Amino acid sequence: MTAQTTGTKPRRITYREAMREALREALRSDERVFLMGEDVGRYGGCFGVSLGLLEEFGPERIRDTPLSESGFVGAGIGAALGGMRPIVEIMTVNFSLLALDQILNNAATLLHMSGGQLAVPLVIRMTTGAGRQVAAQHSHSLEGWYAHIPGIRVLAPATVADARSVLAPALADPDPVLIFEHGGLYNASDDPDPSAGPVDIERAAIRRSGTDATVVTFGGCLPKALAAADQLAGHGVSAEVIDLRSLRPLDDATIMSSVARTHHAVVVDEAWRTGSLAAEISARITEQAFYELDAPVERVCSAEVPIPYAHQLEEAALPQAADIVAAVRKAVG
Amino acid sequence: MKADHTATARGARGTSGSKQARSARRRPAAAKRQPHAAREATDHRRELLRQMLLIRRFEDRCVELYSAAKIRGFVHLYIGEEAVAVGVNQALTEADAVVATYREHGHALARGVPADSIMSEMYGRSTGCSGGRGGSMHLFDAARRFYGGNAIVGGGIPLACGLALADRMRGENRVTCCFFGDGAFAEGEFHEVANLAVLWRLPLLLVCENNLYAMGTALSREHAQTDLALRAASYGMPAWPVDGMDVLAVEAAARRAAVAVRAGGGPCFLEARTYRYRAHSMYDPDRYRDKAEIERWKSRDPIDALADAVRAEGEPAGFVDEIAQKVDAEIDAAVQSAEQAPLEPVEGLLRYVTSPAETS
């Protein structure tokens, strides 16, 4: 490949590499940015996202931490207050519960509690989701819990292009942003358009247009929803697939305008059904687009069980493309 | 159960090395004939006394106003512990940062947060230091680098760690001072940060206000090893106890610690052995401790002790009343200001949840 073609030819990269490029770009462009977390440095990140960054940026900015989630997430909040732009990596959302105090009681509330004096420009990245047979303490999808909290922004990049693009606007946000990276997506690859501009993190994306039903999903369920839409096309059902991208705030406008066209809605969420983000979206559709609906909103969620280890049990617990196909067919009658 | 700081004597010994403390006892009585340096020392003590009196009398007023239902919510009083906030603050500069607890009226006042903005906050007024969103437990003043006002026990400690980390990464020679209690010492967040701060050599001054009770649970019922400074030292940082009822001892210890922290060697830990005279909060019936114990501690009152010492230096007998009158005038003005200030408007309920969008 010559130098002339390098800049224009799309490159096929993985979701993991896309996130790494975004981190590298952020670290290069702003000296206040640093990455902190368990095994982000010498190990290269527990999912390999930060591999090679220590060598380029050094141990001050690619900062390995002890296993002290509350301590280092809180330190990220304090460092943000002190003028830095920290990116804190938590290995998985299950472990983030050890830092929930800091995320909720400090990061999300300080601005309000201080009457607007203390903004917390912090980015927290963490892995979420199941599908890798790592059982009930590494597999849950708790991003909906975080989406419950006023004062933080919650993002769930579901594509390679979004993995490359959401970090910069997240760092530009004066308030805390949580980025959920589904573990099943790290090896996904694509050739994102290098000339694509910055992504609007406030807006959902329509990943596939359709006319008969709206499938609302995000994160690791997006590939399943797109596969389901392919299968539905074979049955003569045209499904529109919306990738929320932002879980808080929710882009109601994109959802409602789609439902107004398709008159059927299916929400797909890897979390448990009870009290889920899927429940919130379903409620909003009922509140805002009830008279557009030709059928009740359907939900496809995980079974209400701690995610099991055995492959067949885990697969049975999670939303699958076949479940989405069935739900859409039920909705459209 | 008898609750005393068994090692207080050790703490007091530790501070007797202070030159200031020694010279105080040798100073001749007549104030007018004092040499310049001695006059300065007396003036400094008068100022410490003023600050402690301001905290004490401000909080006495809070009790009255709470009883009159002028202020509500949880109100945790610092009465008895004034020497700690005032003494430690002497070692800090305006550039340093302070992170405090929910019992933080004293820390805020010692830091210079105006009494009227604190009182207005408790009144829920627009002029309150947190715009009426925080109340007694969440006083903030960014301009004075006063970072609250944290009501999760131990929750402010990681925050302080991060402020210190930012200073270290930015090459700022500043100290972040974090106050917390003996209850917080049992929280994981303290131990996570003690390890992190030593590991990363952060400019952090950890001040444990050991008032012997985590709400209603006595120190010996919550800690297997009650010598907290000893345990803190195990993380590899200088740590020592100090008599928290002696403002000069606290000041000397804090200065020594702040010098060490500023020198770049990493954090220091002070265990200020102190006592709160009042119940945990205004809701607490205080059934878990003995009245005689409270009286015993009151006999070591930090304000009385300093007043006696300054009087012995030749200040006129009525000098405390004179300071108290000025302090009361400041508090009266704060209450009047809060009474007259507009209520924080309900229309602004959703303000400050997220930062306002930048207009370009």
Q: What is the pLDDT of residue B38?
A: 87
A140 and A7 together in one domain: yes
Is the domain of A254 the same as that of A289? yes
- Evaluate whether residue A116 is within a structural domain: yes
In a domain, A198, yes or no: no
Nearest by CB: B169 against A60, A72, A76: A60
CATH code of the domain containing A17: 3.40.50.970
- What digits encode the pLDDT tens for the residues B141-162? 999 999 999 999 999 999 999 9
Say whether pLDDT at A198 is over 90: no
For residues A28 and A161, membership in a common domain is answered with yes
**A63 sits in which H/E element:** strand A62-64
Gap between the Cα atoms of B134 and A114, Å rounded: 6
Burial per residue of B191-227, b for 16 or more beta-carbon CB atoms within 10 angstroms, e otherwise: bbbbbbbbebebbbbbbbbbbbbbeeebbeeebeebb
Phi/psi at A198 (5° precision): -65, 145
pLDDT of residue B25: 46
Contact call for residues A227 and A257 (beta carbons, < 8 A): no
Q: Above pLDDT 90, what percent of chain B?
A: 84
Give the nearest chain A residue to B349 (CA atoms): A112
Confidence (pLDDT) at A11: 86
B328 touches chain A (CB under 8 A): no
Alpha carbon of A174: minimum distance to chain B alpha carbons (Å): 7
Supply the pLDDT for residue A45. 95
Q: What is the largest CA-CA distance in chain A?
A: 59
Same domain, A281 and A138: no
Averaged confidence pLDDT in chain B: 91
Q: Are B162 and A79 in contact (CB under 8 A)?
A: yes
pLDDT digit string, tens, across residues A263-304: 999 999 999 999 999 999 999 999 999 999 999 999 999 999
Q: Give the whole-angstrom CA distance, residue A47 versus residue B58.
A: 54
Q: Determine the average pLDDT of the residues in B229-253.
A: 98
DSSP state for residue A268 in the 8-state scheme: E
Active-site residues of A: which are they?
69, 138
For residues A162-175, one letter each, b for 16 or more C-beta atoms within 10 angstroms of the residue's C-beta and e for the rest, the string is bbbbbbbbbbbbeb
Residue B135, min C-alpha distance to chain A (Å): 9
Task: Decide if B196 touches A, using CB distance below 8 A.
Answer: yes
- Asked which of A121, A156, A190 is the last residue of a domain, the reply is A190
In this structure, what is the dihedral angle of CA atoms B279, B282, B284, B287, given to the nearest 10 degrees?
Answer: 50
Tens digits of per-residue pLDDT, B185-197? 999 999 999 999 9
Query: Which of the residues B125, B145, B146, B165 would you substitute to probe the A interface, choosing the one with the greatest number of A C-beta atoms within 10 Å?
Result: B165
d(CA A277, CA A283): 10
Quote the CA–CA distance of A81 and B91 in Å, as a whole number: 22
pTM: 0.93
SS3 A150: coil
Task: Count CA atoms within 13 Å of residue B48 on its CB side.
Answer: 32
Interface test with B, best of A104, A114, A178 (most B CBs within 10 A): A114
From residue B27, alpha-carbon distances to A30, A203, B16, B41, B305 in Å are 57, 73, 16, 10, 16
Query: Is residue A112 situated within a structural domain?
Result: yes
CB neighbours of B71 closer than 8 A, spacing ≥ 6? B62, B65, B122, B123, B136
Instruction: Give the model's confidence band at A194: pLDDT under 50 very low, under 70 low, under 90 confident, else very high.
Output: confident
The rounded distance, in Å, linking the Cα atoms of B129 and B150 is 14
What's the confidence (pLDDT) of residue A10? 67
d(CA A201, CA A165): 9
Nearest to B243 by CA among B43, B2, B21, B1: B21
Q: For residues B169 and A264, what is the distance between their CA atoms, to the nearest angstrom?
A: 53
Residue A109 falls inside a structural domain: yes
In a domain, A195, yes or no: no
Are residues A216 and A159 part of one domain? no
Confidence at residue A1, expressed as pLDDT on a 0 to 100 scale: 39
Would you say residue B2 has pLDDT above 60? no
Cβ of B189 within 8 Å of Cβ of A101? The answer is yes
pLDDT of residue A286: 97
Tens digits of per-residue pLDDT, A309-321? 999 999 999 999 9
Least CA distance to A176: which residue of chain B?
A: B354
List the domain range (segments joined by +) for residue A16.
Answer: 3-190
| Residue A179 · residue A170 · CB < 8 Å | yes
B340–chain A Cβ distance below 8 A for any pair: no
* Paired strand residues for B217: B214
pLDDT per residue as tens digits for the range B256-274: 999 999 999 999 999 999 9
* Confidence (pLDDT) at A273: 97
**Residue-wise pLDDT tens digits, B169-180:** 999 999 999 999
d(CA B338, CA A5): 69
Query: How far is the C-alpha of B77 from the C-alpha of B298, rounded, in Å?
Result: 15
Based on the fold, state whether residues A212 and A179 are members of the same structural domain: no
**Pair A185, A253 in one domain:** no
Enter the tokens of residue B209: 């206000």
**End-of-domain residue from the set A164, A190, A216:** A190
Instruction: Tell me what pLDDT residue A3 has.
Output: 41
Residue A199 inside a domain? The answer is no
Is the minimum CB–CB distance between A58 and chain B shorter than 8 Å?
no
CA–CA distances in Å: residue B278 to residues B11, B78, B87, B287, B324: 24, 8, 20, 12, 20
Q: What percent of chain B has pLDDT over 70?
A: 90
The pLDDT of residue B21 is above 50? no
Query: What domains sit in chain B, N to C, each tagged with a CATH number?
Result: 8-340 (3.40.50.970)
Q: Tell me, yes or no, whether A62 and A149 share the same domain.
A: yes
Measure CB to CB from residue B147 to each of A65, A72, A81 and give the nearest one. A81
Look at residue A174 and tell me whether its pLDDT is greater than 60.
Answer: yes
| Beta strands per DSSP E along B182-302 | 204-210, 213-214, 217-218, 239-243, 268-273
Look at residue B326 in the predicted model and tell me its pLDDT: 97
- Residue B224 clears pLDDT 80, i.e. is over it: yes
Q: Are residues A29 and A91 in the same domain?
A: yes
Domain count, chain A: 2
Asked whether residue A196 is assigned to any structural domain, the reply reads: no
Does B73 touch chain A if contact means CB atoms closer than 8 Å? Answer: no
Q: What is the DSSP string of B306-354?
A: HHHHHHHTT--TTHHHHHHHHHHHHHHHHHHHHHHSPBPPGGGTTTTSS
Supply the ipTM of this predicted assembly: 0.93
Question: Has residue B7 got a pLDDT over 60?
Answer: no
Query: How many beta carbons lie within 10 A of that of residue A242, not counting itself?
Result: 27
Looking at the structure, tell me whether residues A241 and A299 fall in a common domain.
yes
CA separation for the pair A266, B99 (Å, rounded): 48
Tell me, what CATH number does A290's domain have? 3.40.50.920
One domain for residues A34 and A160 = yes
pLDDT band at B199 (very low <50, low <70, confident <90, very high): very high
Which of the two residues, A57 and B283, has the higher pLDDT score? A57
**Is residue A107 a part of any domain in this protein?**
yes
> Lowest-confidence range among A41-45, A110-114, B129-133, B309-313?
B309-313
List for chain A the helix, strand, coil content (%; round to 5): 40, 20, 40
A vs B, Cβ pairs < 8 A, gives 148
Which residue in chain B is spatially nearest to A105 when comparing CA positions?
Answer: B152
Q: Chain A: give the shortest CA distance to residue B204, in Å.
A: 12
* Contact between residue A189 and residue A213 where contact means Cβ atoms under 8 Å apart: no
Q: Residue written as tokens 């590991």?
A: B199
- Cis amide bond preceding B149, omega within 30: yes
Closest residue to B352, CB basis, from A72, A106, A111: A111
Tell me the residue ranges of DSSP E strands in B23-119: 97-100
Tally Cβ neighbours within 10 Å of residue A105.
17
Q: Which of A190, A218, A236 is the last residue of a domain?
A: A190
Q: How distant is the Cα of B142 from the closest Cα of chain A, in angstroms?
A: 6
Whole-number Å distance between alpha carbons of A231 and A238: 10
> Is A254 found in the same domain as A135?
no
Which of A9-18, A227-236, A243-252, A307-316 bottoms out in mean pLDDT, i.e. has the lowest?
A: A9-18
